[in-house]
Each structure stands twice: as structure tokens, then as C-alpha cells.
Amino acid sequence: MKKLCSVFVTVCLLAAVWSVSASASFSVEPAIAAGGNHSVALAGNGTVWTFGDNNAGQLGDGTRFRRTIPVRVPELRKVTAIAAGRTHTLALRSDGTVWSWGENAHGQLGDGTTVTRTLPVQVQRLENVIAIASHDNHNLALRSDGTVWAWGDNGRGQLGDGTLVTRNRPVRVQNLDNVTAIAAGWGHSLALCDNGSVWAFGNLQTGALPTQPFDPADVLPRRIDLGNAIAIAAGGTTAVAIRSNGTVWAWTNGGDEVPAQVRGLNGVTDIAIAADNSILARRTDGHLRWSSSPSAQQPPATLELENVVAIAANGHSLALTGDGVVWAWGTNRHGQLGDGSVVCRDTPEPVHSPFRRGLLNDGLPRHARACAEPLPQGAFE
């Protein structure tokens, strides 16, 4: 019996090692995304992990059960980017296809229906995609040819196609070419072109639907009066651009679209905007700054996290450090902080990890559990 047990343990360990070797054949930069009440994490081996609210299937695990610790989205591999809306989720695969799951009442899954999905489905009529963005109930995709495509809710013209018609399949955003980056906020969208210009569309009147009849030109992309930008972000009703000197400029989309510099934010390389329009900024030195609003008079606060490589925010906030650990804080009523509880936290705490060296850094399950809980066949192919 001891010999058989020894053989069994050896097989288990070999299975675990195989999973690492197989995952090593594909690698990607880890990433994080914050939805309305759920969180998404992309591991370095191209697998996707989710936690938090799941009432619309936005965790993609085939159920509608809330998860307070991360679960893997099954049969989804070779993912290179992720995005999260209010109650749905997107994933971009290495072959340029986009996959979605969760609520679909506004066609935000892009599969040609309004049927909610608890497992990933492919977005139709979309290929050669290199970047994705999502917020609330609409999505954007940037193709390798520099064009932008959009689908989902369009009640405020956030799809940029000159209409207010909701789309359950992607449509091309008009009058936009040579785009290098995209961002989506509540009822509005942004695009950054290769010449540093920033374009916005949607949310003509903050918090209100456009009046009828309307001029189609009012819901087409319009250029924001802002020098050269190197990055953009959107969230809530706020839009943000980072200029080449590391300064941050913000404006209220649909309001007075004249960007103003955000006080006290310098040397910034990445921005995330929370649902309440507060700003989470990552500096080039890997430290975090937090500002209560774009027009806050108080200087931004410093958060006690170092070596941060990625950030995300909505009703809660996420940060990824260089060691592959995901940190979370803020609202946690649905378990979106991933620490096994539903306790809200004012300071960052690590997300639970089933792996040895952080959720996004190591593909080897704790204690070589590959035999007890086998991964799907071909999961890392």
C-alpha cells in the first residue's frame, strides 16, 4: 500500500509539473479589472479568475453563485486582456477574438441576442482585436487597423455610430482612424489617436438622455481641446487624459468639456476612475495616489503600496504588485475584494490565491492539488 501511495503522489506531482510546463508555452502580462460588484484577474498563463457578485453570471463559471475567493473561468485560455462592465465581463484572446459573459439585456455580450450567459460566448463580427474596454452596459474594441468598434447600450450615443440605437453586435465608430487606445465610462467613450489627440462620444447631457429630435452629429466623436496625450481613462461621468509630462487632466463628459489639471498628480503613468469619480493614480515609481475628485482642493493621499504595476477601480479598487499579488479595498458586500469575506476595507488587503506566489504569478496549485482538482483537459494549450 505504501508503494502504491508513493506512486500516486509521484503521478500527482508530475501532473502539477506538466501544468506548469504547458502554461509556460504561453505567457502574458497579468492584468486586473473591476466591475460593478465583481473583480476579474488575468494570470500570466492566460487564464482568467473572477470573484464577487454573480447574479447575472458575470463570473463566467457556469453558475450564479457569489464567490468570495477567486474561481477560474473554465475552458477559457490564451487570454491577453480583460475588461469588466457593471454586470458583464470581456476577454480578448491571442487570436484576436473577443469573448463575453454575464448580463445581456442591452446586447452588451455582442452575440446577436439579449440572452444572459453564465459561460463565455464569442462576440460576433469582430476579429483582429488588440484592446478592449467596458463600462456599465457598453463595450469598445480596438482593431489592429486602428478602427474602433462598439456594442451594447447606446442611449447616450456612447457607441459613436451617429444613432441612439442599442446594438447587440459590434458596429464601427464613425470618423475615427489611427486609434491607439480606448476607454469607456458611464454613458461615454474615449479614443486616443496616434497624433496624441483625444476624442469623446456619448453622454451629451450629464445624467440625462439626449432630447428628441437630435442631430446625429451630436453623437459622433468630437475632439477634446487638450494638447498631446499619452494615455486616457474613463469612469463614472469623468474622463481623464495623461500628458507626456506626467500631469493629469480631467473633465466631465457631457458637461463643460474643458480639461483642467488635477491638483497634485504628477509623474503619473496610469489612472483608474471609481464610480464616485474619485481618481486612483499610479506613479512611475510604482506608488499610488488617491484624489477624492478631479477638482479636490486637498492634495492627493498616498496609499501604502509599493511596486504597483496595474490598477483598477469602480465601487471598489484593485492593485497588482510586481510579485503577482492582487490587493483590494473598498466595498465588499458581494465578496468583490476576494478575501473570503464580505467585510468592507479601507486599506488594501491581499486577494486570496490558490497559488504559491500570488494569484497572477504562478501556475502551480498549492500543495500540488492537480490530482484532487484536475484542470480542464488542454487548459493551458
User: What's 28-357's CATH class?
Assistant: mainly beta
pLDDT value at position 25? 82
pTM of structure: 0.88
User: CA-CA distance, 167 to 164, in Å (whole number)?
Assistant: 9
Q: What is the pLDDT of residues 112-139, one digit of tens each?
A: 999 999 999 999 999 999 999 999 999 9
Residue 277 has pLDDT above 70, yes or no: yes
Residue 15 has pLDDT above 70, yes or no: no
Instruction: Say which DSSP state 64 is in.
Output: -
**15 exposure class (CB count in 10 Å sphere: 0-12, 13-18, 19+):** middle
Could you tell me the pLDDT band of residue 168, with boundaries at 50, 70 and 90?
A: very high
Would you kindly state where each structural domain of the chain is located, as residue ranges? 28-357
Give every CB contact of residue 208 below 8 A, 6+ residues apart in sequence.
none
Q: Looking at residues 68-78, what average pLDDT do you find? A: 95
Q: Looking at residues 220-240, what average pLDDT do you find? A: 92
pLDDT value at position 75? 87
By the 8 A CB rule, do 121 and 111 touch? yes
By the 8 A CB rule, do 183 and 233 touch? yes
The number of beta carbons lying within 10 Å of the beta carbon of residue 245 is 11
Residue 14 has pLDDT above 50, yes or no: no
pLDDT value at position 375? 32
pLDDT value at position 256? 65
Could you tell me the pLDDT band of residue 205, with boundaries at 50, 70 and 90?
A: very low
Helix ranges, the chain (H): 2-23
Cα dihedral 170/172/173/177 (nearest 10): 140
Q: What is the pLDDT of residues 31-60, one digit of tens each?
A: 999 999 999 999 989 999 999 999 999 999
- ∠ CA(206), CA(299), CA(183), 5° rounding? 40
The number of beta carbons lying within 10 Å of the beta carbon of residue 211 is 9
Among 9-23, 91-105, 309-323, where is mean pLDDT lowest?
9-23
By the 8 A CB rule, do 286 and 327 touch? no
What is the dihedral sign for C-alpha 113, 114, 116, 122? positive
- φ and ψ at residue 328, rounded to 5 degrees: -140, 150
- ∠ CA(268), CA(39), CA(148), 5° rounding? 65
Instruction: Say which DSSP state 335 is in.
Output: S
User: CA-CA distance, 367 to 378, in Å (whole number)?
Assistant: 21
| CA nearest neighbour of 252 among 199, 203, 313 | 203
| SS3 of residue 249 by DSSP | strand
- φ and ψ at residue 208, rounded to 5 degrees: -135, 155
| SS3 of residue 193 by DSSP | strand
pLDDT value at position 227? 84
pLDDT value at position 342? 97
pLDDT value at position 125? 94
pLDDT value at position 361? 65
Among 268-272, 289-293, 369-373, where is mean pLDDT lowest?
369-373
pLDDT value at position 255? 63
- Cα separations in angstroms, 243 against 192, 270, 310, 378: 12, 11, 18, 43
Mean per-residue pLDDT of the chain: 86
By the 8 A CB rule, do 281 and 291 touch? yes
Q: Looking at residues 70-84, what average pLDDT do you find? A: 96
Residue 353 has pLDDT above 90, yes or no: no
pLDDT value at position 253? 73
Instruction: Say which DSSP state 365 is in.
Output: B
Residues facing residue 246 across a β-bridge:
none
At which residue does the C-alpha cell 473561468 appear?
73
The number of beta carbons lying within 10 Å of the beta carbon of residue 125 is 11
User: CA-CA distance, 294 to 159, in Å (whole number)?
Assistant: 25
